[in-house]
Structure 1
Amino acid sequence: MKKILTLCLIFTITIGFAQSRFDKVEIKSEKLSDNVYVLFGAGGNIGVSVGDDGVFVIDDQFAPLSEKILAEIKTLSDKPLKFLVNTHWHGDHSGGNANMAKAGATIIAHDNVKARLLNPRRDGSYNPKEALPVITFNDKLNITINNEPVSVFHVANAHTDGDALLYFTESNVLHTGDTYFKGRYPYIDLKSGGSAKGYIEAAKRGLMVIDENTKIIPGHGSVSNKEEYQTFLKMLETIEANVSKAIADGKTEDEVKADASITKQYDDLGYGSGFINSERIRLTFYKSLKGE
């Protein structure tokens, strides 16, 4: 009984700390075009299109932030919430799905996103029906809303196996989801079907549809542009080349993990200061490239 009470106390304290953390989060918006905005808070960046047709949202961060997110959206438009696209399944991008669905959004995502959201969560529970995508796609999808065609296209085995990029064709705004972490090493979720080569191909795919005037909403980080996106791709290709050479030279996983020279060029620029440090990105590339 004491063990049970202790576990309950730890769980309560953990929830309390998490809620306290979210209580301090502010949702801030930045205008990118006449009708497209980005919302910053905690978790993945949110894209929002507003206009006569209603509100179109990309990603929704964590469930405890839904009320704040919806309140910020209300300052941008008094129209109803129509559609929500998840760029992938991770909780910092899809955690608010059920709340957004209850607020009126029809959820859209890649087939693999729905498949992963159907799996049990870490605590053994399942996502409620409201949190699941209602519309799924395999390769690409076109949505016309607020007098603007939006291209939604799948990039295979990049950050995960269900990543989508969205391009607002009139506003010239690209939302990359977590296939782009501005100025830092990315998280490549190998357990969710992500891969180093697929991640590189996703960046190349994104660069194909934009120009020098495009405003880019990365999964994490401030609003970006083509030049910064190209620098990010160059970083990925450099690490791929360095790790590939190390593998060809017979280096072990531990040796690559410990070899700071592989990433030094970008470590010095601060790329390892985020969620993924230099050691972890070397290890991720090694495991992915070795497996291929």
Structure 2
Amino acid sequence: MRRALVLLATVIATPAAAQQDMSRVEIKVERVTPGVAVLFGAGGNIGLSYGEDGNVIIDDQYAPLAPRIAAAVKAVDPDPVRFVINTHWHGDHTGGNEAFGKAGAVIVAHDNVRRRMSADVFSKQMNETIKASPKAALPVVTFSRGVNFHLNGDMLQVTHVDNAHTDGDALVYWTRANVLHMGDTFFFKATYPFIDRESGGSIDGMIAAAKTGLGIVKPGGKVIPGHGPIATREDLQAYHAMLVDVRAKVAAGIRAGRTKAQVIASRPTAPYDGKVSTTGFIKPDRFVETMYDELKPKLQPARKR
């Protein structure tokens, strides 16, 4: 529980939301296409593949919500959850792992997800140590580049993207349904992107992940973000363009010798502030600040000796 609350505060929530009473969270189901649904609650959006071969969920939010998530899945399809695919290691996406693992689900994720969940992690942002997950919560099947699931009349194509939101991100694509789950490499409307540099994330990786997603999902397809409502391919395209544009503005400011405060004051996100929540967990200034801190060592001129 402590792990989940720490990551709730550091990953997607405002301070007020971090104190949210989980007993009041309602799990809502939105069907996307036959065999595909999304579960919304508190934490990362959950993708659901259901049908004759059983249920597969992509992410599982927080530990206290696991019984309600299981009930919501059962209301769609009475079969048990066979597989849990984690898009990355953060607790708002993996908190239910232990409960589903103990119930018999096979947990699948990138190699780095198991590595990060297996050890205590010190967060500089929170000045606190996040304890290792229990054995039952750890992925038992891991991959380096990707893996495919042939279930429920579709193929779920799981693709790793390097150093984007974290160093263990995975995109999950229903090839027949043309639905793509982007995990936290895509935040839609709810907040500006969170780039977890402590977990190997980077702005260039986020841009590359969005580009990879655009290369996977076909026109007319649906895109499930890590946080926010279900989106379209066009929404993902606009998100990619926003990342490229803001990065270019921050980079130009660094090359011009501007300080972090000056670049933030120039409001490089201004054209997008009406489309993205400016009161979400990652506010415009923090998004720019994170990008500045990452890019400055790469772009500032080398000192003459």
TM-score by length of 2: 0.87
Question: Deviation digits for residues 95-118 of structure 1, max 9, x if unmatched?
Answer: 111011112210000000011001
Q: Displacement, 1:209?
A: 1.1
For 1:19 and 1:255, locate their aligned partners in 2 and report how far apart those are by CA, in whole Å: 34
CA contact (8 A) 1:19 1:64 kept: no
1:289 lines up with 2:295 in the alignment: yes
Question: Deviation digits for residues 143-182 of structure 1, max 9, x if unmatched?
Answer: 1111211110000000000000000011111000000001
**Structure 1 residues 191 and 109: alpha-carbon distance in aligned structure 2, compared to 1, 3 A threshold:** same
2:3 corresponds to? none
Question: Deviation digits for residues 38-80 of structure 1, max 9, x if unmatched?
Answer: 0000000000111111110100000000011001001011112
For 2:38 and 2:55, locate their aligned partners in 1 and report how far apart those are by CA, in whole Å: 13
Q: Displacement, 1:255?
A: 2.5
Question: Deviation digits for residues 9-52 of structure 1, max 9, x if unmatched?
Answer: xxxxxxxx978611111000011111110000000000011111
Alignment RMSD (CA, Å): 1.6
2:196 corresponds to? 189
Q: How does 1:109-188 map to 2 (within 5 A)?
A: 109-120=109-120, 122=128, 125-183=131-189, 184-188=191-195
**Structure 1 residues 96 and 291: alpha-carbon distance in aligned structure 2, compared to 1, 3 A threshold:** farther
For 1:274 and 1:75, locate their aligned partners in 2 and report how far apart those are by CA, in whole Å: 31
* Amino acid across the alignment from 1:21: D
* Amino acid across the alignment from 2:64: P
Q: Identity of counterpart residues, as a percentage? A: 47
Q: Displacement, 1:272?
A: 2.4
For 2:271 and 2:249, locate their aligned partners in 1 and report how far apart those are by CA, in whole Å: 11
Question: Deviation digits for residues 247-281 of structure 1, max 9, x if unmatched?
Answer: 10011223223x14322111243442311111101
1:76 corresponds to? 76
CA contact (8 A) 1:158 1:194 kept: yes
1:59 corresponds to? 59
1:6 corresponds to? none
For 1:242 and 1:127, locate their aligned partners in 2 and report how far apart those are by CA, in whole Å: 39
Please say which of residues 65-74 and 18-27 is displaced more in the overlay.
18-27
- Give SS of 1:262's match: coil
Pick the structure with greater CA Rg.
1
For 1:89 and 1:193, locate their aligned partners in 2 and report how far apart those are by CA, in whole Å: 12
CA contact (8 A) 1:260 1:278 kept: no
* Amino acid across the alignment from 2:149: I
Q: How does 1:1-292 map to 2 (within 5 A)?
A: 21-120=21-120, 122=128, 125-183=131-189, 184-257=191-264, 259-292=265-298
Q: Structure 2: which 5+ residue stretches go unaligned? A: 1-16, 122-127, 299-305
| Alignment length (residue pairs) | 275
**Structure 1 residues 157 and 123: alpha-carbon distance in aligned structure 2, compared to 1, 3 A threshold:** closer
* Amino acid across the alignment from 1:143: F
- Give SS of 2:107's match: strand
Runs of 4 or more, structure 1, over 4 Å off, are 17-20, 121-124
- Give SS of 2:142's match: strand
For 1:19 and 1:252, locate their aligned partners in 2 and report how far apart those are by CA, in whole Å: 35
Q: Structure 1: which 5+ residue stretches go unaligned? A: 1-16
For 2:146 and 2:247, locate their aligned partners in 1 and report how far apart those are by CA, in whole Å: 28
CA contact (8 A) 2:188 2:276 kept: no
**Structure 1 residues 83 and 206: alpha-carbon distance in aligned structure 2, compared to 1, 3 A threshold:** same
* Amino acid across the alignment from 2:153: N
Q: Displacement, 1:220?
A: 0.4
For 1:268 and 1:54, locate their aligned partners in 2 and report how far apart those are by CA, in whole Å: 41
For 1:61 and 1:249, locate their aligned partners in 2 and report how far apart those are by CA, in whole Å: 42
TM-score by length of 1: 0.90
CA contact (8 A) 1:260 1:279 kept: no
**Structure 1 residues 269 and 35: alpha-carbon distance in aligned structure 2, compared to 1, 3 A threshold:** closer
**Structure 1 residues 270 and 82: alpha-carbon distance in aligned structure 2, compared to 1, 3 A threshold:** closer
